[in-house]
Amino acid sequence: MNRLVATLVAASRAALPATFMARINALLQDRSAIEQLEAEAAHMRAAYLDLMRDSLIGRLNEDPPLPACKVDGYQDEFRENGWDWPSRAPSMIGAKRMDNVRSECERVIKADVPGDFMETGVWRGGACIMMRAVLKAYQIGDRRVIAADSFAGLPPPSAGVAADAGADFHTNKDFAVPLEQVKAAFARYGLLDEQVVFIEGLFKDTLPTAPTEALALLRLDGDMYESTMDGLVNLYHKLSAGGTLIADDYYLFECQRKAVDEFRASRGIADPIIQIDDFGGYWVKSGGRA
């Protein structure tokens, strides 16, 4: 019996009138009725996650971009591709990369790939909120969403890291979003609960002891070489076979691309990188834990 039917039966026995329970029992005898229920549930899941996407990226209310973007008002093409940063919405990654987060979460669930969902570098929390929304839509309680960030903006480049030399991300105050503000965003969507874990601090200090044994999806959005390499070195071996590695700015920032390429070469990773949009890429992990 699939998860949807089991949930309907349990809920019916616990809370619904006997007449409705009788109807459920009758429906269970009719395969076509079960298939109809499953189709309706899938339609509701899709509608909910579509709405979540459009709200999270600021499309739903045409949230104008931050002044630093120097973009004249809301433009749907920009929001589709993540070319600007919304003033208030929780995510700057745009519709294409948000759809990638959603579709890969759904894929690993359907493929029964074990592990949690994790992002390193969460800004206002939008991609992680989508991860939690997918778990809610599929009524999954045995996976967690792990959100790792300094919650104080990007750090200045470390001495001796040539690939990050000259990077000035740390000077942009728009990137500094306090942890309480991120938690408040989860709460507004009704998704702040025990299945969401926050890790606060610099990646080099926090990721070596990240509280997860296995990951089904790992999303790297630290922009810089060192931040990206910290995520790969400390977490990639926890990514299950069949799991997804997403590099948010692989095609945008040379420093992130260099870290990813060097790590893949050092571990002999040949899984093809699939381009998402102008900025992001991902691959599905094959074989064992490299």
Which carries the bigger pLDDT value, residue 3 or residue 241? 241
- The number of helices, as runs of H, and strands, as runs of E, in the chain is 10, 7
CA atoms within 13 A on the CB side of 126: 26
Confidence of residue 118 (pLDDT cuts 50, 70, 90): very high
130-167 residue pLDDT tens: 999 999 999 999 999 999 999 999 999 999 899 999 89
Which carries the bigger pLDDT value, residue 282 or residue 160? 282
Phi, psi of 274 (to 5 degrees): -100, 125
Confidence of residue 12 (pLDDT cuts 50, 70, 90): very low
Confidence of residue 15 (pLDDT cuts 50, 70, 90): low
Strands 274-275 and 239-247: unpaired
Asked if 117 and 105 touch (Cβ cutoff 8 Å), the reply is: yes
Asked if 136 and 145 touch (Cβ cutoff 8 Å), the reply is: no
219-278 residue pLDDT tens: 999 999 999 999 999 999 999 999 999 999 999 999 999 999 999 999 999 999 999 999
49-92 residue pLDDT tens: 999 999 999 999 999 999 999 999 999 999 999 999 999 999 99
Kindly give, in sequence order, each residue whose CB lies less than 8 Å from that of residue 278, ignoring residues fewer than 6 positions away.
Answer: 81, 83, 251, 252
